[in-house]
């Protein structure tokens, strides 16, 4: 297993990632063909901006393409900062494999765009340990989180990851926190300025009250949603405690980076379990999950444990496929 192509820096890994992405896309497309509605809607900025009547076939293809882009970006993030040593293309492979469990593409496009912006915020904030003045990095990270929250309002809680990264990586100065706050608020200033200039405040209020739910809902705990997320949450929990247990044996900077990922996982699981948030939030967990699981599988000396993890995934995938084909 150690000599597998997945554990080496081999261009064929990218071919394998694309092939898995195509298979996952095929599963989503097949599932979408048998949905009751032939169209779906995208909602942004608290429901104020909408794109209506998007064919669900196009939506499934777009979701699959975004998953592939995110997989590549996660690999870029890891290669630049060496969050997981000697991982090469492994995090991207894990991300795209487990994304195949999410076959329902409904409401995923805004969430995936939001996740991409959160990762861009991390990309800007992780280099601050080298800088005496990281105000520009903090400003950029704040802007990205602010924009992410306009795609999925609950993603604003990921500002906690950025603040944690700042605290872990350097001695934070007030001007850096101020820049972060200004960056976070900047997209809102611009958005509400446009709403005010076009005299659209009543329309915004109506959209806000219609799209933002203040009451809990149990529909997200359906059998279908539990089936999609069961192995991701289970393996995330295992990787979570594995990383904490072995964190003392890693280089200081890597340990700090991975501490940020642990916070990312904790916040993502909290959001997933919250009854106030749609089930599409599961995609936020996939990003730190792919990195932490890569670390765990690379570090372990027990082949049985590797087989155990992939067996859980394959069993979950088989049940998802059976569910898809029986529902069709």
Task: Give the pLDDT of residue 133.
Answer: 84
DSSP H or E segment with residue 303:
helix 303-327
DSSP string spanning 82-128?
A: TSSTT-TTHHHHHHHHHHTT----TTHHHHHHHHHHHHHHHHHHGGG
- Which of 71, 73, 98, 92 has the alpha carbon at shortest distance from 10? 92
Question: What's the confidence (pLDDT) of residue 220?
Answer: 61
Q: For residue range 209-226, what is the model confidence (pLDDT) as tens digits? A: 777 665 555 566 666 667
Residue boundaries of the structural domains of the chain: 5-209+220-327
- State yes or no: pLDDT of 298 exceeds 60: yes
Q: Estimate the share of the chain in helix, then strand, then coil, as percent rounded to the nearest 5.
A: 75, 5, 20
Is 62 within 8 Å of 90 (Cβ atoms)?
Answer: no
Q: Would you say residue 2 has pLDDT above 80? A: no
Give the mean model confidence (pLDDT) for residues 117-123. 96
Mean pLDDT of 153-170: 91
Identify the pLDDT of residue 163.
93
Split at pLDDT 50, 70, 90, the class of 301 is confident
* Average of per-residue pLDDT across 131-160: 92
Decide: 94 and 285 in contact? Cβ < 8 Å: no
Nearest CA-CA partner of 21 in 92, 84, 75, 90: 92
Give the chain's radius of gyration (CA, Å): 20
Mean per-residue pLDDT of the chain: 85
- Spatial neighbors of 222 by CB under 8 A, at least 6 apart, are none
Pick the most confident of 41-50, 80-89, 181-190, 263-272.
Answer: 181-190
Whether 42 contacts 114, CB under 8 Å: no
Is it the case that residue 273 has pLDDT exceeding 90? no
More confident residue, 246 or 193: 193
* Lowest-confidence pick of 8-12, 113-117, 268-272, 283-287: 8-12
Pairwise CA distance, residues 35 & 324, whole Å: 11
Confidence check: pLDDT of 178 > 80 = yes
Higher pLDDT: 177 or 4? It is 177
Whether 1 has a pLDDT exceeding 50, the answer reads: no
Contact present, 284 and 155 (Cβ < 8 Å):
yes
Q: What is the pLDDT of residue 272?
A: 83
Q: 84: number of CA atoms within 13 Å, CB side?
A: 26
Q: What is the pTM of this model?
A: 0.90
Residue 200 has pLDDT above 50, yes or no: yes
Q: What are phi and psi of 43, to 5 degrees?
A: -125, 130
When pLDDT is cut at 50, 70 and 90, the band that residue 250 belongs to is low
* pLDDT tens digit sequence for 14-52: 899 999 999 999 988 888 887 777 788 888 888 788 888
Average pLDDT over residues 144-160: 92
């Amino acid at each position: 297993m150690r000599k597998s192509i997945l554990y080496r820096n081999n261009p064929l890994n990218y071919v394998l990632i694309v092939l898995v992405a195509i298979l996952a896309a095929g599963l989503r497309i097949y599932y979408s063909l048998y949905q009751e509605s032939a169209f779906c809607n995208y909602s942004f900025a608290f429901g104020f901006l909408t794109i209506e009547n998007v064919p669900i076939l196009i939506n499934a293809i777009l979701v699959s393409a975004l998953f592939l882009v995110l997989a590549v970006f996660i690999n870029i993030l890891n290669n630049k900062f060496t969050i997981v040593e000697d991982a090469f293309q492994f995090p991207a492979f894990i991300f795209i494999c487990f994304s195949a469990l999410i076959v329902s593409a409904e409401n995923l496009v805004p969430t995936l765009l939001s996740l991409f912006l959160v990762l861009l915020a991390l990309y800007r904030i992780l280099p601050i340990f080298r800088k005496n003045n990281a105000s520009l990095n903090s400003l950029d990270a704040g802007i990205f989180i602010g924009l992410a929250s306009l795609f999925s309002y609950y993603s604003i809680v990921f500002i906690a990851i950025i603040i944690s990264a700042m605290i872990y990586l350097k001695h934070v100065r007030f001007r850096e926190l101020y820049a972060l706050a200004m960056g976070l608020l900047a997209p809102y200033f611009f958005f509400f300025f446009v709403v005010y200039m076009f005299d659209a405040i009543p329309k915004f209020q109506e959209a806000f009250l219609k799209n933002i739910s203040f009451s809990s809902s149990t529909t997200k705990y359906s059998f279908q949603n539990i089936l999609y997320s069961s192995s991701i949450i289970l393996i995330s929990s295992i990787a979570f405690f594995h990383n904490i247990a072995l964190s003392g044996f890693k280089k200081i900077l890597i340990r700090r980076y991975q501490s940020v990922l642990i916070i990312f996982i904790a916040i993502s699981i909290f959001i997933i379990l919250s009854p106030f948030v749609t089930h599409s939030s599961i995609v936020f967990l996939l990003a730190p999950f792919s990195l932490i699981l890569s670390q765990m599988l690379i570090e372990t000396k027990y082949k049985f444990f590797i087989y155990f993890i992939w067996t859980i995934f394959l069993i979950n995938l088989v049940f998802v496929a059976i569910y898809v084909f029986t529902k069709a």
